[in-house]
Homo-oligomer: A and B are copies of this chain.
């Protein structure tokens, strides 16, 4: 373990998933962590869990990290700035400009405020969901502004680096436009697709495959949190949604009059454009075409995937990605394994030789 860059105590306000994870991560580096939460129960759990000690009179934090819901973040940041007049205050809310503007409008001392946004999360919440390693290797955006000095900002960088995250510097405007595109608009697009399923016949939804499941997965997210996020980032989200809506109108128009000159070409161009867009995504999922896949039938009981991956490892093959699927009515699951194309044939042979049924 490398030594912590942070030296003074860190006060964490709000001990849900993010706050508890920050506390646990900093405690693991030996940093003193002071916890506060509106819920005494959550506070006690987080302290028992090892995320830090409850706040006490006379605390003198070097840094305050506000980890409360987006709609109360500016309130809490402002009161923390007032309560600890020598501390730097940061927050982790998923929208940045509205909070900064709100603080400026209140006359808060933003020379000691620097907003951030860790691109990490889980579908569960609460202090018990916290993990010391939650941020390891994840991007963590610092939404810089001219009102804070380089020197004062460095303690926020220290926080991020101590937690093992990758620091990404953007302005609040750049951040909000970026998350509108990569997170908020996809949420809306997915939600509206899922809504189409509500009144669909049972026989129709039963034909759903992996494609629909993927498109609608994030539509299962917490509506109350998302009302706040979308409400605080309305302008960039609306701008992108309007572009999406215009594309959709053109698509519907072309599909509605296929015999019009150029209609099929326009549809093909939209579809090719989708290919181009996906290729811009970082990481393995955006570049599926680099990998070959094989589908292996797996009985739905403990130890079967262990045996499969043991056999894949024995073959000296690295799994690039994996997708599990269960068809309605089937006794077996399908594990789709993505590997480098040059090893696909050998792996297929090796798995077949070990008795695996290769389904595709």
Contacts and interface: CB of A to CB of B under 8 A. Distances in A.
Interface of A: 21, 119-120, 122-124, 129, 131, 133-134, 136-139, 141, 166, 168, 170, 174, 177-179, 181-183, 185-198, 200-201, 203-221, 223-224, 226-227, 230-231, 234, 237-238, 240-245, 247-249, 251-252, 255-256, 258, 264, 267-268, 270-286, 288-289, 292-293, 295, 297, 300-314, 316-319, 321-322, 324-332, 334, 357-360
Nearest to A237: B255
Nearest to A275: B220
Contact of A238 (B122, B255, B301, B303): B255
Contacts of A249: 245
B168 A198 contact: no
A112 to B, nearest CB: 26
A198 to B, nearest CB: 5
B274 A190 contact: yes
A318 B300 contact: yes
A293 B121 CA distance: 12
B297 A133 contact: yes
Given A122-B293, A211-B187, A360-B122, A197 B324 contact: no
B213 A283 contact: yes
B231 A359 contact: no
B207 A189 contact: no
A271 B191 contact: yes
Contact of A251 (B190, B192, B223): B192
Contact of A256 (B187, B234, B245, B306): B234
B258 A234 contact: yes
A317 to B, nearest CB: 6
Given A223-B271, A281-B212, A360-B133, A196 B207 contact: no
Contact of A264 (B227, B277, B332): B227
26 contacts: A133-B360, A137-B330, A137-B334, A166-B329, A174-B204, A178-B201, A189-B192, A191-B271, A194-B277, A208-B281, A208-B282, A213-B281, A215-B215, A216-B286, A223-B275, A241-B252, A282-B328, A283-B325, A283-B327, A285-B325, A302-B318, A303-B316, A306-B306, A306-B311, A306-B314, A319-B324
A316 B134 CA distance: 26
A283 B326 contact: yes
B293 A305 contact: no
Given A251-B188, A270-B195, A313 B317 contact: no
Nearest to A195: B273
B226 A192 contact: no
Given A215-B189, A248-B192, A303-B313, A210 B285 contact: yes
B360 A282 contact: no
B329 A137 contact: yes
A10 to B, nearest CB: 20
A264 to B, nearest CB: 6
Given A255-B234, A280-B198, A285 B170 contact: no
A162 to B, nearest CB: 16
Contacts of A198: 273, 276-277, 280
Interface centre among A133, A220, A288 (most CB of B within 10 A): A220
A181 B166 contact: no
A208 to B, nearest CB: 4
Contacts of A139: 206-207, 327-329
